[in-house]
Amino acid sequence: MTFRRAYPLALALVVGAAVSLRAQDSPLGIQGLGMPGRFESARARATGGAFAAFDPFSVLTDASVSGLGRLTATATGAASYLTDDLGGLSGSRRSSRFPLFQIGGPAWSHIVLAAAFSTYLDRSYHVVINDTITLGGSSQAISDDLSADGGVTDMRFVAARRFGHLALGAGLHLLAGSSRFQFTRSFSDTSTYGQASQAGEVAFRGSGLSASAILAVGNHLQVAALYRSDSHLRGEENGTVVARNDLPTTVGGALLWQPAPEASLAVSLLRRSWATAADSNAYNTTSWSAGAEFGRAIPLRVGVRGGDLPFGPGGQTPREFAFAFGTGRTFAGARGIIDVTLERLRRTGAGLTETGWTALLSVAVRP
């Protein structure tokens, strides 16, 4: 059984009903399970995500936490300003969130343990649909107000160990969250028809396993490979299972080349099987990234990323492209680290064009 509460919106987008977009996450996530979260720290995001597979402050690969030489706590915050344009109708929104938190460090026998919280899916939106329907043989103007607030969090528990030039890691993922939804239909003829509404809260549960490896080839090249399999996402309302969706398998790889002590370049590629998660409006995704870092004390980081988005109406895979840059600084003998990033984003799909800016700040503390 799949989650179908958002289908009226998808139908409205296809047939051309008047849609008003208010404060929300991307409208392209309303049709399916939501918008997938990203797994990078601000440092990795500044390189387009290309460094994420090797970054111990990101949560993309398990093996990367082997680079935590001492106890480290990391938190990342993000603020976005986005604008949507759909058939001449436009809307803008601002949002702020804390998509990533991790704490980890050496345990015993060269094993590094870490626990992290990150956004797996975001299901926050507010849409108003104005349309005309036929009731009792006559046309009636209606206004549907559909909103949801919530998402799914990925709680990750990881163990990693380095064996010379090879680092191995494995992780357990527990998915949990909820989404409060409300639907209200209003009629222009209030003397004949009253307002109808429905509200509730759906709780989500799921799990997954992951494994990864990072191999140092000589002194200047590192190669990373990752695999993750998530099981099912169950939606429960008042103790009753109302939805059960398959979750994707993720495979990917990355290369990191350091031609000089103060220069590093990386590329990455990820493939996720989201098409099994919903109906014909869900798509498998391929995403890529490339980035570089120059300097040490106050480095310059730049990167680009692009690829597919998993959900969207219209029978065509939505796409996104982003450019990012940023820098960072260490304090107190490298016991404190601050990284900042600014990203320019563009998404397209089903006649919708979405553009905007996202600013990220990561803080790491190593007592």
For 176-205, what is each residue's pLDDT tens digit?
Answer: 999 898 889 988 888 888 888 888 899 999
Phi first, then psi, for residue 348 (nearest 5°) are -140, 145
User: Is residue 272 very low, low, confident or very high in pLDDT (cuts 50, 70, 90)?
Assistant: very high
Q: Is the pLDDT of residue 265 over 80?
A: yes
Residue 294 inside a domain? The answer is: yes
Q: Is the pLDDT of residue 12 over 80?
A: no
Residue 1 inside a domain? The answer is: no
Which CATH number does the domain housing residue 124 bear? 2.40.160.60
pLDDT of residue 86: 76
Residue 95 domain boundaries = 7-365
User: Is residue 7 very low, low, confident or very high in pLDDT (cuts 50, 70, 90)?
Assistant: very low
User: Is residue 89 very low, low, confident or very high in pLDDT (cuts 50, 70, 90)?
Assistant: confident
Name the domain count of the chain.
1
pLDDT of residue 190: 82
Residue 272 inside a domain? The answer is: yes
pLDDT of residue 13: 40
Q: Is the pLDDT of residue 144 over 70?
A: yes
pLDDT of residue 176: 96
Q: Is the dihedral of CA 88, 89, 90, 95 positive or negative?
A: negative
State mean pLDDT over 71-80: 96
Residue 2 inside a domain? The answer is: no
Cα–Cα distance for residue pair 128/359, rounded to 1 Å: 28
Residues contacting 149, CB < 8 A, separation 6+: 123, 124, 179, 180
For 92-123, what is each residue's pLDDT tens digit?
Answer: 888 888 999 999 999 998 999 999 999 999 98
- Dihedral angle at the C-alpha atoms of 20, 23, 25, 30, nearest 10 degrees? -40
State mean pLDDT over 15-29: 56
Percent of all residues in the chain with a pLDDT value above 70, rounded to a whole number:
92
Residue 327 inside a domain? The answer is: yes
pLDDT of residue 280: 62
Query: Burial level of 259, CB count in 10 A (0-12/13-18/19+)?
Result: exposed
Q: Is the pLDDT of residue 16 over 50?
A: no
Q: Is the pLDDT of residue 14 over 60?
A: no
Cα–Cα distance for residue pair 72/12, rounded to 1 Å: 48
For 218-249, what is each residue's pLDDT tens digit?
Answer: 999 999 999 999 999 999 988 888 888 999 99
pLDDT of residue 211: 98
Provide the whole-model pTM: 0.87
pLDDT of residue 123: 84
User: Is residue 132 very low, low, confident or very high in pLDDT (cuts 50, 70, 90)?
Assistant: confident
User: Is residue 257 very low, low, confident or very high in pLDDT (cuts 50, 70, 90)?
Assistant: very high
For the beta carbon of residue 144, count every other beta carbon within 10 angstroms: 19
Residue 138 inside a domain? The answer is: yes
pLDDT of residue 207: 97
For 150-180, what is each residue's pLDDT tens digit?
Answer: 899 999 999 999 999 999 999 999 999 998 9
As given in the structure block, the two tokens for residue 305 are: 């990323």
Q: Which long-range contacts (CB under 8 A, 24 or more apart) does 266-269 make?
A: 266/47, 266/50, 266/51, 266/53, 266/54, 266/290, 266/291, 266/292, 267/50, 268/49, 268/50, 268/52, 268/53, 268/224
* Mean pLDDT taken over the chain: 88
pLDDT of residue 43: 96
User: Is residue 18 very low, low, confident or very high in pLDDT (cuts 50, 70, 90)?
Assistant: low
pLDDT of residue 9: 41
Cα–Cα distance for residue pair 75/118, rounded to 1 Å: 10
State mean pLDDT over 338-345: 97
